[in-house]
Structure 1
Amino acid sequence: MSGETVGQALRRWRRARGYSLRKLGTLTSYSYAYICEIETGRKPPLPEVIAACDRCLGAGGQLIAIAARSQTAGPQASDDEPGLEFSMDWMEGIETLTTLWRRDAGRRQFLRNAAYVSTAFAVPVQRWLDLFNEQNAVAASASEPPTTQTVREMTKTFRRLDNLYGAGQIRSAVVQYLDAEVAPVLRGSTPEALGRGFLSSVAELTQLAGWLAYDCLDHSLGQRYFIQALRLAMGAHDRALGAEILAGMSHQAIFLGQPQPAVELAHAAHRTAIRARVPALVAEASAMKAHAYALLHKEKECTDAITEAETFLGKADRTEGPHWISYLDEAYLAAISGHCFRALGKQSQAERFARRSLDMSPGFVRGKLFNQVLLAGAHVLKEDIDQACAVGHEALDLTGEVSSARAITYIDGLRQELRPWRTNRRVKEFEDRAKIVIAQW
């Protein structure tokens, strides 16, 4: 069709074949969430993804041709956008970091057309691990700029708001704060002059900025923030925060349907967490391993990792450890386990853990929405469609409180899972309401 975008063509061919997003994702071995982003125009398609979709849909090269025309006519991602570098030179690294902040703060569409590059983590992770294989790493001095506590408190506030409402309403404020208030302190200073506390606080806020970009589905931007946060954590010699950042990288790779990089990142997080001697972090890294193994259909490795996560979470002292790991509790681990068993097709286990995941602490509205969709999906797996729709409506009730593009992909994913029962009255009611929510986004 003349003027049709590659996303529109992909959706037309998929629907003509009667495939859900999840089914096409399974056939192509790519994330259904990423395919949804292509269809809605939020992300540019990688050539290999379009080729796989074209083949599975029997499009005879038509999708490939449309994608090629779009690439020729449309905006091209710049090769010199900052953030994927992991410089061992301190001043060069700070220039990369502050340039990333400045360009993100000044351009609303910054890196919107750039692709997530799974191989970009290889050098940062290896350099991080090499550093902490050295027993006598030199720590920075104990002196700190007067802004250290301010950065910590701002980060806590931003993190609380993110957990409550999602990234949509606060991401720009975080980036503006980093560019306007933090960058001037970093420029021209050495790690020794800044102190470990200040560098850790900035690394934590940069990691949060990456998480916010990820929640907005700006995956290339989120990836770059994660890499630069790891570089700052290395400057601070903060093993615990490094493990958290690596686990976040693994989480993003899982969401994007790239389980093999996710496994490798989770293993790096695990090694770091063991060295940091923070049991809760070991539990988190083990949970990421489990989820990635589930996507690879490696059931034994998955269940072994879940057992390890449960063991280390049981050893965690909730009164100690970094404040930013407080979200990791039994409900969080139950949610990851629910996702694992759902990916493995284990109906009863998926439902059991999904129910446990809703026994949450207050203050995590977005997480509650995610877990309700997880439970609804577990009901779909059991073909208990009425109950799936009932729980789905509870998730929709929360969408008015949350500004999270990632949450919308969860809702859309549930819609696609319910498509085989589209003639069911309750499914129609859920579909109609979900379409309104998605359209408003």
Structure 2
Amino acid sequence: MMPNLRKQGDVLGAGSTLPSALAYRHIAEQQAKAAPNGHHRDRAVAAYAELTQLAGWLCFNMGDYNSAQRFYDDARSAAHEARAVELVTYILCTMSHLATWQGQPRVGFDHAVAAAAWADQSGSPYARAYAADVAVRALTADGQADRSKETLDREYVALQAALSDQGPRQSWWYFYDESFFWSTSAQSALKFQGADQVLAATEKALDLTDDGNLHNRSFRLLYRAEAFARQQNIGLACQTITEVVELTSLNSTRRIEQRLQELRRGLDPWKRTRAVKQLDQSIDAYRSPSIK
């Protein structure tokens, strides 16, 4: 069920998926308590840890950061108890993402460093690559251009190793591929480079994106919209934002709404233009007027 629940969250939204995730988490908790000591108990506790991390991720996207932190802390403890090293790495990466998103990039980098250490023990190239990815985002948010670029290069090398690996892959890495790398590159370019570099990175990310993952596609379109706005290409910026508004009309998350609000406020100098008025009409049709 876990891979299905993760993809359900990407398509239907966090709010629709959280009740199911919590129900399965409760079942996993009971199984972990009943399992005999040894291998079977470790597997049961690891399943509980993964479902707990998923609950945290869904709360994160819903904007309930306190609950997300509690679930992540619980998931990390359970994964350590189960000696699930690769899962520990993944959970620490998601903790890094949460901290960076909340404006605490140095805390995010702390978690990324810990994730990298466990990733080396796991032997998983996906773990190494994703630990580097969250480190890039933390360093970018902290304004460390050189270290961000260096870590992004390291991520790319680890990603190539992961993509060429013929061994089994843990299900939670389903989202992480070359499109994700280019998405993170776009985030870095938004901070340190010009709009042309952002557009080039988002073009690669969107070309490689699984269209069924509406969550990732929406964020990548919003990076593109911000680049258009920086070029003062207001028509294309509004057109791209409108695409996200329509794409997520039934499955939006609080984090997507926050980015929409930020981008719409940035367009205030052009609020009397036809393009922005049409964007506002789309927002009125699909969203609460509070976004404007």
1:331 CA drift (Å): 0.7
Task: Output one character per residue of 1:56-83: Cα deviation in whole Å (capped at 9) or x when no partner.
Answer: xxxxxxxxxxxxxxxxxxxxxxxxxxxx
AA aligned opposite 1:347: A
What is residue 194 of structure 2 aligned with on the other side? 346
What is residue 427 of structure 1 aligned with on the other side? 276
**Distance in structure 2 (CA, Å) of the matches to 1:336 and 1:358:** 12
1:193 CA drift (Å): 7.1
CA contact (8 A) 2:283 2:289 kept: no
1:430 CA drift (Å): 0.9
**Distance in structure 2 (CA, Å) of the matches to 1:157 and 1:250:** 24
SS at 2:103's partner residue?
coil
1:401 CA drift (Å): 3.9
What is the identity percentage for the equivalent residue pairs of Structure 1 and Structure 2? 24
CA contact (8 A) 2:190 2:227 kept: yes
**Change beyond 3 A, Cα 1:288–1:193:** closer
**Change beyond 3 A, Cα 1:323–1:168:** same
After the TM superposition, which residues 148-297 of structure 1 pair with which residues of structure 2 at under 5 Å, given as runs? 154-179=1-26, 181-187=27-33, 191-192=37-38, 194-297=40-143
What is residue 259 of structure 2 aligned with on the other side? 410
SS at 1:376's partner residue?
helix
1:403 CA drift (Å): 3.7
1:314 aligns with 2:163: no
**Change beyond 3 A, Cα 1:345–1:234:** same
1:399 CA drift (Å): 1.5
SS at 2:16's partner residue?
coil
1:410 CA drift (Å): 2.0
**Distance in structure 2 (CA, Å) of the matches to 1:183 and 1:311:** 38
**Distance in structure 1 (CA, Å) of the matches to 2:285 and 2:89:** 40
AA aligned opposite 2:212: G
**Distance in structure 2 (CA, Å) of the matches to 1:339 and 1:393:** 20
Greater shift, 300-309 or 314-323, is seen at: 314-323
**Distance in structure 2 (CA, Å) of the matches to 1:428 and 1:254:** 33
What is residue 384 of structure 1 aligned with on the other side? 233
**Distance in structure 1 (CA, Å) of the matches to 2:273 and 2:16:** 36
AA aligned opposite 2:170: P
1:194 CA drift (Å): 4.2
**Change beyond 3 A, Cα 1:401–1:275:** same
Deviating beyond 4 angstroms after TM superposition, the runs of 4 or more aligned structure 1 residues are 188-191
SS at 1:431's partner residue?
helix
AA aligned opposite 2:150: D
AA aligned opposite 2:281: D
**Distance in structure 1 (CA, Å) of the matches to 2:265 and 2:248:** 18
1:436 CA drift (Å): 4.5
SS at 1:320's partner residue?
coil
With the length of structure 1 as denominator, give the TM-score of the two structures.
0.62
Task: Output one character per residue of 1:74-130: Cα deviation in whole Å (capped at 9) or x when no partner.
Answer: xxxxxxxxxxxxxxxxxxxxxxxxxxxxxxxxxxxxxxxxxxxxxxxxxxxxxxxxx
CA contact (8 A) 1:287 1:337 kept: no
**Distance in structure 2 (CA, Å) of the matches to 1:225 and 1:265:** 15
Task: Output one character per residue of 1:304-347: Cα deviation in whole Å (capped at 9) or x when no partner.
Answer: 01101111000112652212112111111111111111122532
AA aligned opposite 2:121: R
1:439 aligns with 2:285: no
**Distance in structure 2 (CA, Å) of the matches to 1:341 and 1:168:** 31
SS at 2:210's partner residue?
coil
Task: Output one character per residue of 1:185-244: Cα deviation in whole Å (capped at 9) or x when no partner.
Answer: 334767537432222222111111110111111100011111111111101111111110
What is residue 146 of structure 2 aligned with on the other side? 300
1:265 CA drift (Å): 0.9
What is residue 249 of structure 2 aligned with on the other side? 400
What is residue 366 of structure 1 aligned with on the other side? 215
* Alignment coverage as a number of residue pairs: 287
**Change beyond 3 A, Cα 1:287–1:318:** farther
Q: Which has the larger radius of gyration?
A: 1
CA contact (8 A) 2:45 2:81 kept: yes
CA contact (8 A) 2:35 2:44 kept: no
CA contact (8 A) 1:412 1:438 kept: no
AA aligned opposite 1:361: D
AA aligned opposite 2:62: C
CA contact (8 A) 2:13 2:252 kept: yes
User: Larger % of helix: which?
Assistant: 2
CA contact (8 A) 1:247 1:288 kept: yes
CA contact (8 A) 1:415 1:434 kept: no
What is residue 330 of structure 1 aligned with on the other side? 178
AA aligned opposite 1:252: L
Structure 1 residues not aligned, in runs of 5+: 1-153
Let me know the Cα RMSD of the aligned residues: 1.9
After the TM superposition, which residues 42-61 of structure 1 pair with which residues of structure 2 at under 5 Å, given as runs? none
Structure 2 residues not aligned, in runs of 5+: none
**Distance in structure 1 (CA, Å) of the matches to 2:83 and 2:288:** 45
CA contact (8 A) 2:24 2:51 kept: no
**Distance in structure 2 (CA, Å) of the matches to 1:279 and 1:183:** 30
**Change beyond 3 A, Cα 1:278–1:183:** closer
